[in-house]
Amino acid sequence: MATHIPPIRKQNPYLPFGDQKGTRFYGQDILSVKQFNRDDLEYIFGVAHEMAGMVRRIGTFDLLKGKILANLFYEPSTRTSASFTAAMERLGGSVIPINEVRYSSVSKGESLPDTIRTLEAYADVIVLRHPEVGSAAMAAKYARKPIINAGDGIGEHPTQALLDLFTIQEEMGHIDGLTITMLGDLRNGRTVHSLSRLLTLFDVCINYVSPDILRMPAEIIGEINDKNIPQKEFSDLETILPESDVLYVTRVQKERFATPEEYESVKGCYVITREIMQKAKEEMIVMHPLPRVGEIEMELDDDPRAAYFRQVEYGLYVRMALLASVLGKA
């Protein structure tokens, strides 16, 4: 006798069989760091710790066996897309990779909502990177399944900010009381937009160092101000480096400039060298969301303060924690 398959619900949220509906973030979208409070971070970092332990002990395990992730990237990505793929596969799930969007229906003019609604028929969760600010929130309006924002233009990159914060917590042992200095293209760097917002949950001081045309957007400075977080702007790193606990370096985002001349005028504006690092504290860390394109000399990689490749590994555990959480298995 044929088994009755219930009709696909149009209005109700997606509730897969057998998942833990009480799990924090179950079925939720991850769109902006603004959705998190300190308890949420404690929860995510706790799960990320467990993931780290499991990966180190057994490598790959079956927590998300049978689950499928659609990795939908409209902008180039190496790290974020590989990191989500590795996270899903370490948890025993599988991945539909869509990196070359120009070969897909999108290049035939398909709208983002149609692409999302098609992919969610195949997958349980969608990771989306798109060049437009607000694209992930728009996709989430149409999707019944969780959308994870993997970068919406110069908007936000919430999973990067979570892994950045996890890195700071793991490396420095705490976040409250630290001075965090962000350097480089603060106008176009979505990672610093998300990180500075997330840091407002803590008792920190934030410094911004950039050329004038790449300053942190006034809207974000205003938001941080509203949360009473001390912040200062500089054009020169050397004055502020000695008191920094974290130096967060970013690349100049070539693809976001209106003209090549504008890019050329700021390209290579800051380069972190061994010599510059002599002025930094012994107990501090240098971070970078990567890719680096000359902002940190390779000679610094052996310095124990160079945390950027460790940061990549922390990212795997945080993304495993997020996938397991939104799929109700954390």
Judged by the rule CB under 6 A, the positions of this chain that interact with ligand ASP are 79-80, 151, 157, 190-191, 251, 289
Least Å distance, CB 154 to ligand ASP, is 9
Q: Which is nearer to ligand ASP, 29 or 185 (CB)?
A: 185
Q: Label residues 69-103 b or e (16+ Cβ within 10 Å = b).
A: bbbbbbbebeebbebbbbbbebbebebeebbebee
Nearer to ligand ASP, 146 or 184 (CB): 184
* Least Cβ distance, residue 79 to ligand ASP (angstroms): 6
Q: Which residue has the tokens 């969780």?
A: 146
Least distance to ligand ASP, CB of residue 188, Å: 9
93 versus 289: smaller Cβ distance to ligand ASP: 289
Closest CA to 124 of 45, 17, 4, 7: 17
Q: How far apart are alpha carbons 139 and 115 in whole angstroms?
A: 9
Min dist CB 50 to ligand ASP, Å, is 26
Identify residue 51 by its one-letter amino acid code.
M
CA distances from 166 to 76, 162, 254, 309 (A): 25, 6, 28, 14
For the CB of residue 184, give the shortest distance to ligand ASP in the complex, in Å: 9
Could you tell me the smallest distance in angstroms from the CB atom of residue 328 to ligand ASP? 28
| H or E element at residue 139 | helix 135-142
Q: Cβ 255 to ligand ASP, closest distance in Å?
A: 9
Q: Which is nearer to ligand ASP, 64 or 285 (CB)?
A: 285
Q: Kindly report whether the peptide bond that precedes residue 76 is cis, defined as omega within 30 degrees of 0.
A: no
CA 239 to CA 117: how far, in whole Å? 51
Asked if 69 and 95 touch (Cβ cutoff 8 Å), the reply is yes
CB of 60 to ligand ASP, least distance (A): 25
Q: Are 184 and 190 in contact (CB under 8 A)?
A: no
Chain position carrying tokens 């630290």: 178
Residue 307: other Cβ atoms inside 10 A: 22
> Is the CB of 64 or the CB of 87 nearer to ligand ASP?
87
What is the C-alpha separation between 247 and 88, in angstroms, rounded?
30
Between residues 23 and 191, which has the closer beta carbon with respect to ligand ASP? 191
Q: Which is nearer to ligand ASP, 23 or 83 (CB)?
A: 83
How is 289-322 classified by DSSP, letter by letter? -S--SSSB-GGGTTSTTB-HHHHHHHHHHHHHHH
Q: Which is nearer to ligand ASP, 120 or 185 (CB)?
A: 185
Residue number of the CB atom closest to ligand ASP: 289
